[in-house]
A and B are shown apart, each in its own frame.
Chain A
Amino acid sequence: MTKDLKRVFLEELRSVKSMTDLSHLRVKYLGRKGIITLELRSLSSISPADRPAAGKKITSIKQFIEAEFAVVESILKREELQRELQANCIDVTLSGKFVPFGRQHPISRMLSEITDIFVTMGFGIEEGPEVESDYYNFESLNIPKDHPARDMQDTFYINDDMVLRTHTSPVQVRVMEKARPPLMIIVPGKVYRRDADITHTPMFHQIEGLMVDRGITFSNLKGVLEAFLYHLFGPDTPVRFRPSFFPFTEPSAEVDIGCILCGGDGCNVCKGSGWVEILGAGMVNPVVFENVGYDTEEFSGFAFGMGVERIAMLKYSIDDIRLFFENDIRFLRQF
């Protein structure tokens, strides 16, 4: 009989497809009026001599059935979870919810990149006014009124004695008036010239540098600027220094790098020369030192300045400077 019971149970168990089927089957066998319960109850009608054996048998069947139920139940639960997960499925190919991201302006990026290089070398950052007196912008830098050197920079005037600074160089003088050497500063900032075309905007950015100490030489000027240019454009960049003229430096130099667009073969950007101008520099003119009360016998120094837009145009291959100030998001997003 017991054999039959097991066989019948297993057969019925096989047809269980859900938790409901399972609980029905459980009631059928283990419920209050279930087959096993009744069997156990009927033990009392068996002779006491046979009772232990019969009891043992039915108990073992009960344990067998319970174990089978546990196995099936766990399988069913797993299947149910699977079904539930299936039902919660979403379309993972839909685009995610947009998280806005901001971009630094290419000029800010370039400014940071350049200032960081100098800060690493030990230069400190200084700033100065953008509306500047004629004295600081010109006179103190050895650019007197009625001097043709003023033609080098077309100036916006507020009045006869006040201009929009045409370069960051006046900050040199302002800093030297307040501090004694040794000095190592860079001055990033906006400057203004009355000019507008594909390579000129009435406002642009410059970074000025100044180093003053005992025994600073032209050779040092070359060393610091070469180190900077190798950092910014790569260690194999050709660099050349050639004489030029700035009223506030003597000797003055223009610094060129090998054209990074054509590699020196000659193209539109370098006007076929293979070189592009990148920096103006020179040893601080003793006239400027005298204007700030530095002893020209004790101290010497160099200064340099560069146009940030120009460098950004070269680095990012931008051919129209006005793009920087149009603030078209399609442009700004690219940096």
Chain B
Amino acid sequence: MLVPFQWLKEFIDITDHAQEVARRLTMAGLEVDALVKHMDGDIVMEVNVTPNRPDCLSIIGIARELSAIYKIPYRFPEHSVAASAGELGLNVDILDTNLCHRYAGRVIRGLKVEARRTPEWMQNRLQRCGIRSINNVVDATNYVLLELGHPLHAFDLQRLKGSNIRVGTPEGIKGQWAMASIETLDGVEREISGDDLLIWDAEDPVAIAGVMGGLDTEVNNSTVDIFIESAHFHPPSIRRTSKRLGLKTESSYRFERGTDIKMLKKALDRATFLIREMAGGVICGKVDIYPKNYRPAEIEVRCEKINKLLGLALSSQEIVSCLKGLGFEIKDAPDKLSDRLIIKTPAYRRDVEREADVIEEVARIYGYDKISASLPMATLSIDKQKEGDKRRSVKDEISGSLLKSGFTEAINYSFMGIQDIDLLGIGADDSRRAGLIQIMNPLRVEDSFMKTTIIPSLIKNLVHNVLHGSRELRLFEISKVFIGNGSSRLPEEREHVAAIYYKERVKSLYRDDTDDFYIVKGVAEAVFNNLKIYDYSFRRSSEAYLHPGRSADIFIGNDKIGYLGAISPAVLGSLNIKRHKASPVVVEIDIESVISSITEEIKYKPMPRFPCIERDTAIVVDSSLESSMVIKWLKLYPSELIEDVYIFDLYYGKNIPEGKKGIAFNVRYRASDRTLRDDEIDELHSLLVDYVIGKTGGELRQ
């Protein structure tokens, strides 16, 4: 709401300068966003009026608010409307009293409508408030809209067919399923739904109630007689219509927030007065259909409750004075000694409905800044650990592991597009495609769905960074994925962690030829080990977008909880970093599964008291045999003396036949109750080697 300071001062005698007035308004809940100074010295305040305060969408409304703040009176503009001469000559009827609560109007005949004849001072004010001058009649109605906050509409009386005004919906006028159409003032032909409120003449719709008038009955240079409408409409109905048509006007903005049903008549008279002043004519009769008189709600308020909620100790006089200043009527309490007050709110403050609303009014006018700050007395409760606390600590552990491994955290939007799912070659039955949740009104078609996997975002981040010169990139993200279940229930939301690793093969001072796959796998293992999860395993993966020879599904126990691998060259080929020959490795893990695998108990195991004996052996096996099989058989061998096994070398080529590979492993033996003898271990180890060779079909390497 734009408020020219000079105009405001017509209604309230304020001595403070605009800046101070702006501060006082801001501190009372009407935030002044800006002060704009004009050439003539006038200052326009840009007031940010919250949706609950339509009463402040006018100059008089701001003056009224200032009157409560400064505790000084305000006044209305003066006008006198001569007694009606002649008949109205118009039949007015409200067909839907639920949507139209009051309908008033006046007729002025024989006036002279002229563009550019509006007095300069009025044009200036309109312009400063963001309204273009049209002609003297329309300008007068707009002026009153700004001044008193009540929208009005003027019709060309001679174009209203059948001397008839009817207020109703297409269904109400023409029966069920009826629709209507009307060409509005902006020259657009609009389809109107059956339950939108319209103003009709004897035959056709002539205005969309509270939103915009019809072009056909527009007041223009040829108009001689006019009918001025001043009405009160049901706010949600106006909002529905305005939203449905995508048509927002100064009028609909006020009607949908709620107008002052009592101001309606004053606004009508004020506009009539101004029009006759500016355009001449004779005022002929009036109409005011007001089926059900507005009766303000009575709110019972307890002074004690006010003080208790705000942490204040105001006397009831102080409270009453705050409320009276706001125009609230205080009825005598049923019992003069009690602290109860019965309050009647003015018609323009329909937002005040309950005791809590009144408390806010008292606090606002008293001043939030005068309420002292104090810390609450705590009630301690030994609650079970909050679910969020546990999740947070697991997420912190995971991100801690990744940060320590050199991965930087990324945060991407939760959106994805069908092109991302296509890129990854995810099939129709996969929940990552089948469970996509679609957004009805996305900002971009590429962002039409909620993420079902984090990988596409990380690939985009990779492309961005490589194109901006990154030669090595380690990124991770922890975020939810959304899996729909095809029903009207909320989708399943699962926290995931994903990471991407990329390193350009460049000349380097220090040699490190570890395969990228194993770097990322090591990081994944570190994540699990850090959470004390040890029963994880990796099996060859069939993820479509991963390199089939360099990818693995990740299991905890028998549950697949993620995958990792090099992105397939086919996918990389379609990204615009082809020339960088990137071969990034990605990993994605479902954190929910990880959380449920965490055992919180920690039990100390004593350190071994006796020394161990180690043996190294190399065997030659088929090159297709996965090393995990060797480990598996070594571990399955029935001996309690085997403490640990690991593979320390893997080689091909020289001295190894084609299609074979050498695997060297180390076995550590230990007994818990004695020192082992070399000869017994020699014997055990050779049995173990024979066993593994037998199981793997390999042979001892000479």
Q: Is B413 a contact partner of A131 (Cβ separation < 8 A)?
A: no
Q: Is B406 a contact partner of A99 (Cβ separation < 8 A)?
A: yes
Q: Nearest CB to that of A213 among chain B residues?
A: B379
Q: Is A105 a contact partner of B411 (Cβ separation < 8 A)?
A: yes
Given known pairs A103-B403, A190-B414, the reply for A218 and B443 (CB within 8 Å) is no
B residues less than 8 Å from A158 (CB atoms): 437-440
Q: Is A325 a contact partner of B364 (Cβ separation < 8 A)?
A: no
Say whether B680 faces chain A, with CB atoms less than 8 Å apart.
Answer: no
Once bound together, how far apart are the Cα atoms of A104 and B410, in whole Å?
Answer: 8
Q: Is A122 a contact partner of B415 (Cβ separation < 8 A)?
A: no
Once bound together, how far apart are the Cα atoms of A276 and B546, in whole Å?
Answer: 48
Q: Is A100 a contact partner of B412 (Cβ separation < 8 A)?
A: no
Q: Is B405 a contact partner of A100 (Cβ separation < 8 A)?
A: yes
Q: Is B311 a contact partner of A220 (Cβ separation < 8 A)?
A: yes
B residues less than 8 Å from A244 (CB atoms): 29, 31, 50
Say whether B496 faces chain A, with CB atoms less than 8 Å apart.
Answer: no
Complex partner residue of B257 from A97, A132, A148, A190, CB under 8 angstroms? A148
B residues less than 8 Å from A1 (CB atoms): none
Interface set, chain A 43-71, CB cutoff 8 A to B: none
Which of B37-45, B467-475, B648-656, B667-675 contacts its partner?
Answer: B467-475
B residues less than 8 Å from A241 (CB atoms): 368-369, 371
Which of A7-15, A78-86, A326-334 contacts its partner?
Answer: A326-334
Q: Is A327 a contact partner of B412 (Cβ separation < 8 A)?
A: yes
Once bound together, how far apart are the Cα atoms of A153 and B472, in whole Å?
Answer: 40
Q: Nearest CB to that of B473 among chain A residues?
A: A329
B residues less than 8 Å from A104 (CB atoms): 399, 403, 409
Say whether B308 faces chain A, with CB atoms less than 8 Å apart.
Answer: yes
What sequence of 0s and 1s flags, for each residue 473-509 of chain B, a beta carbon within 8 Å of any chain A beta carbon? 1111000101000001011010000000000000001
Complex partner residue of A271 from B33, B474, B480, CB under 8 angstroms? B33
Once bound together, how far apart are the Cα atoms of A36 and B640, in whole Å?
Answer: 67
Q: Is A215 a contact partner of B308 (Cβ separation < 8 A)?
A: yes
B residues less than 8 Å from A99 (CB atoms): 406
A residues less than 8 Å from B379 (CB atoms): 182, 213-214
A residues less than 8 Å from B480 (CB atoms): 130, 190
Q: Is A250 a contact partner of B475 (Cβ separation < 8 A)?
A: no
Once bound together, how far apart are the Cα atoms of A2 and B406, in whole Å?
Answer: 75
Say whether B441 faces chain A, with CB atoms less than 8 Å apart.
Answer: yes
Say whether B224 faces chain A, with CB atoms less than 8 Å apart.
Answer: no
Given known pairs A219-B372, A327-B461, A327-B464, the reply for A196 and B406 (CB within 8 Å) is no
Q: Nearest CB to that of B438 among chain A residues?
A: A158
CB distance from A154 to the nearest CB of B (A): 9
A residues less than 8 Å from B660 (CB atoms): none
A residues less than 8 Å from B235 (CB atoms): 148
Say whether B26 faces chain A, with CB atoms less than 8 Å apart.
Answer: yes
Q: Is A245 a contact partner of B50 (Cβ separation < 8 A)?
A: yes
CB distance from B286 to the nearest CB of A (A): 31
Complex partner residue of A124 from B33, B389, B465, B475, CB under 8 angstroms? B389
Once bound together, how far apart are the Cα atoms of A126 and B368, in whole Å?
Answer: 30
Q: Is B236 a contact partner of A147 (Cβ separation < 8 A)?
A: yes
Given known pairs A102-B403, A151-B51, A211-B376, the reply for A329 and B470 (CB within 8 Å) is yes
Complex partner residue of A196 from B309, B403, B443, B476, CB under 8 angstroms? B443
CB distance from A65 to the nearest CB of B (A): 49
Which of B153-161, B171-179, B317-325, B351-359 contacts its partner?
Answer: B351-359
CB distance from B62 to the nearest CB of A (A): 15
B residues less than 8 Å from A236 (CB atoms): none
Q: Nearest CB to that of A152 among chain B residues?
A: B51
Interface set, chain A 241-279, CB cutoff 8 A to B: 241-245, 247, 250-254, 271-272
Q: Is A251 a contact partner of B373 (Cβ separation < 8 A)?
A: no
Q: Is B408 a contact partner of A103 (Cβ separation < 8 A)?
A: yes
Say whether A4 faces chain B, with CB atoms less than 8 Å apart.
Answer: no
Q: Is A250 a contact partner of B50 (Cβ separation < 8 A)?
A: no
Interface set, chain A 170-220, CB cutoff 8 A to B: 182, 185, 187, 190, 192, 194, 196, 201-203, 211, 213-220
Given known pairs A102-B474, A218-B311, A222-B373, the reply for A243 and B28 (CB within 8 Å) is yes
B residues less than 8 Å from A218 (CB atoms): 309-311, 363, 371
Say whether B383 faces chain A, with CB atoms less than 8 Å apart.
Answer: yes
> What is the number of residues of chain B that contact chain A, defined by CB distance less than 8 Å?
92
Given known pairs A133-B490, A217-B311, A252-B360, the reply for A242 and B403 (CB within 8 Å) is no
A residues less than 8 Å from B376 (CB atoms): 211, 213, 215-217, 220, 223-224
Complex partner residue of B408 from A95, A162, A332, CB under 8 angstroms? A332
A residues less than 8 Å from B409 (CB atoms): 102-105, 108, 332
Say whether B338 faces chain A, with CB atoms less than 8 Å apart.
Answer: no
Q: Is A223 a contact partner of B375 (Cβ separation < 8 A)?
A: yes
A residues less than 8 Å from B438 (CB atoms): 158
Say whether B391 faces chain A, with CB atoms less than 8 Å apart.
Answer: yes
CB distance from A74 to the nearest CB of B (A): 38
Say whether B79 faces chain A, with CB atoms less than 8 Å apart.
Answer: no
Say whether B580 faces chain A, with CB atoms less than 8 Å apart.
Answer: no
Q: Nearest CB to that of B450 among chain A residues?
A: A131
Q: Is B414 a contact partner of A130 (Cβ separation < 8 A)?
A: yes
A residues less than 8 Å from B408 (CB atoms): 102-103, 105, 329, 332-333
What sequence of 0s and 1s flags, for each residue 300-323 of chain B, a beta carbon within 8 Å of any chain A beta carbon? 000000001111100000000000
Q: Is B308 a contact partner of A325 (Cβ separation < 8 A)?
A: no
Once bound together, how far apart are the Cα atoms of A286 and B257, in whole Å?
Answer: 22
Q: Nearest CB to that of A214 among chain B residues?
A: B379
Interface set, chain B 313-371, CB cutoff 8 A to A: 354-357, 359-360, 363-364, 368-369, 371
Once bound together, how far apart are the Cα atoms of A131 and B572, in whole Å?
Answer: 32
Q: Is B399 a contact partner of A125 (Cβ separation < 8 A)?
A: no
Interface set, chain B 423-474, CB cutoff 8 A to A: 437-443, 447, 450, 461, 464-465, 468, 470, 472-474
Given known pairs A102-B407, A108-B399, the reply for A203 and B490 (CB within 8 Å) is no
B residues less than 8 Å from A125 (CB atoms): 386, 388-389, 392
CB distance from A189 to the nearest CB of B (A): 9
Say whether A94 faces chain B, with CB atoms less than 8 Å apart.
Answer: yes
B residues less than 8 Å from A252 (CB atoms): 360
What sequence of 0s and 1s flags, for each residue 242-279 of chain B, a beta carbon within 8 Å of any chain A beta carbon? 00000000000000110000000000000000000000
A residues less than 8 Å from B470 (CB atoms): 329
Once bound together, how far apart are the Cα atoms of A220 and B371, in whole Å?
Answer: 10
Once bound together, how far apart are the Cα atoms of A196 and B412, in whole Å?
Answer: 14
Q: Is A102 a contact partner of B406 (Cβ separation < 8 A)?
A: yes
Say whether B374 faces chain A, with CB atoms less than 8 Å apart.
Answer: yes
CB distance from A222 to the nearest CB of B (A): 4
Once bound together, how far apart are the Cα atoms of A301 and B491, in whole Å?
Answer: 31
Q: Is B368 a contact partner of A253 (Cβ separation < 8 A)?
A: yes
Query: A218-B309, A243-B28 are known contacts; what are 12 more A-B pairs with Cβ within 8 Å?
Result: A104-B399, A105-B411, A127-B387, A148-B235, A164-B439, A194-B441, A219-B372, A222-B372, A243-B363, A300-B308, A324-B411, A325-B413
> Can you list 15 pairs linking A and B with CB atoms under 8 Å apart?
A94-B509, A100-B472, A102-B408, A105-B411, A126-B386, A129-B493, A159-B488, A190-B414, A192-B414, A203-B415, A217-B309, A218-B371, A243-B28, A244-B50, A250-B357
Chain B interface (Cβ within 8 Å of chain A)? 26-29, 31, 33-34, 50-53, 235-236, 239-240, 256-257, 308-312, 354-357, 359-360, 363-364, 368-369, 371-381, 383, 386-389, 391-392, 399, 402-415, 437-443, 447, 450, 461, 464-465, 468, 470, 472-476, 480, 482, 488, 490-491, 493, 509-510
Nearest 3 pairs between A and B by C-beta?
A100-B406, A219-B311, A243-B29
